[in-house]
């Protein structure tokens, strides 16, 4: 029995003590794009730093930063980020890259979203046709953007046709694919999604659909245990030349997913 206990305790300790690691909360849309699989090995090679990603919606990512459970966050919801900084949870905000949001839906396009001339018009077409629409419904950056667009459209996002999945980007796309419904997603997640079914990308290109990702280190004054030194090292790397090449060079089916726009 003593042996067993010792074995358990050593295995617990062995997993608790690791090399230099940084915990970063990122959004599901960023993770599902597959870009992190390009960036993390390069970060490890250049900085000898293990970045552990906690993949959640932007709402939860900000909460993790508030509670000091991560060292930095990479999110995309400007208004929420500004509130986070104003409350003193983060030290500063650094823009890293952007992509854009798109509308996907059944290829037959019964609501004629493809003919829309703006994002708001696309939503109006869906709502007035009462075409099935799946929303993230999880307080993520994508969800916040969708809600802002609904507010601009003057339409009520409710009724039997409006389904809030309450899930991450991939799970929401699965629901949309299964119901052959319209949904709102980011370009990277869509291109990387493996279960497109009858769905196609129907509308993109409105400047209102611009999707900026920003990096925020968690405030070490508030939480002395956070690895602010590592967070700053990572920021330097993410805004540097290597990241620039990797991010701009990341393409799927010949289509570039993200555009690097960090200011040096």
Residues in 61-90 that interact with other proteins by CB under 8 A: 66-69
Distance of CA 163 to the CA centre of its chain: 20
Window contacting other proteins (CB under 8 A); options: 10-18, 94-102, 115-123, 240-248: 10-18
How far apart CA 150 and CA 15 sit, in angstroms, is 46
CA distances from 121 to 82, 90, 113, 183 (A): 28, 36, 8, 14
Q: Which of 27, 39, 40, 23 is nearest to 211 (CA)?
A: 27
Contact 103, 202 (CB under 8 A): yes
Nearer to other proteins, 68 or 110 (CB): 68
Window contacting other proteins (CB under 8 A); options: 139-147, 172-180, 206-214, 237-245: 172-180
Minimum separation from the CB atom of position 138 to other proteins (A): 12
Minimum separation from the CB atom of position 153 to other proteins (A): 28
- Does residue 121 interact with other proteins by CB under 8 A? no
Window contacting other proteins (CB under 8 A); options: 9-17, 206-214, 232-240, 252-260: 9-17
Binding mask 190-229 for other proteins (x = CB under 8 A): --xxxxx--------------------------x-x----
3-state secondary structure of 142: helix
How far apart CA 120 and CA 149 sit, in angstroms, is 6
- Does residue 171 interact with other proteins by CB under 8 A? yes
How far apart CA 243 and CA 126 sit, in angstroms, is 38
Q: In this structure, which long-range contacts are made by residues 239-245, counting pairs with CB atoms below 8 Å and at least 24 apart in sequence?
A: 239/94, 239/96, 239/263, 239/264, 242/42, 242/46, 243/39, 243/42, 243/96
Minimum separation from the CB atom of position 80 to other proteins (A): 18
Window contacting other proteins (CB under 8 A); options: 16-24, 152-160, 202-210, 231-239: 16-24
* Residues at the contact surface with other proteins, assessed by CB under 8 A: 1, 4-5, 8, 11-12, 15-16, 18, 21, 23, 28, 32, 40, 50, 52-55, 66-69, 167-171, 173-174, 177, 192-196, 223, 225
């Amino acid at each position: 029995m003593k042996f067993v206990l010792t074995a358990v305790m050593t295995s617990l300790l062995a997993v608790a003590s690791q090399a230099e690691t940084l915990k970063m909360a990122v959004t599901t849309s960023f993770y599902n794009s597959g870009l992190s699989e390009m960036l993390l090995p390069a970060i490890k090679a250049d900085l000898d730093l293990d970045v552990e990603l906690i993949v959640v919606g932007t709402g939860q990512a900000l909460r993790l930063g508030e509670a000091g459970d991560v060292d930095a966050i990479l999110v995309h919801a400007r208004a929420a980020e500004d509130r986070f900084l104003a409350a003193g949870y983060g030290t500063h905000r650094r823009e890293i890259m952007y992509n854009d949001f798109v509308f996907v839906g059944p290829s037959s396009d019964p609501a004629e979203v493809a003919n829309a001339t703006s994002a708001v018009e696309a939503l109006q077409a869906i709502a007035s046709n009462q075409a099935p629409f799946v929303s993230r419904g999880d307080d993520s950056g994508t969800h916040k953007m969708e809600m802002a667009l609904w507010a601009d459209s003057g339409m009520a996002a409710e009724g039997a046709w409006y389904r809030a999945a309450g899930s991450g980007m991939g799970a929401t796309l699965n629901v949309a694919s299964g119901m052959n419904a319209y949904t709102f997603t980011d370009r990277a997640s869509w291109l990387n999604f493996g279960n497109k079914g009858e769905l196609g990308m129907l509308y993109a290109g409105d400047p209102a659909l611009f999707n900026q990702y920003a990096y925020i280190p968690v405030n070490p004054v508030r939480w002395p245990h956070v690895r602010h030194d590592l967070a700053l090292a990572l920021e330097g790397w993410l805004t540097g030349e290597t990241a620039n090449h990797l991010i701009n060079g990341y393409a799927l089916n010949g289509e570039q997913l993200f555009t690097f726009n960090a200011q040096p």
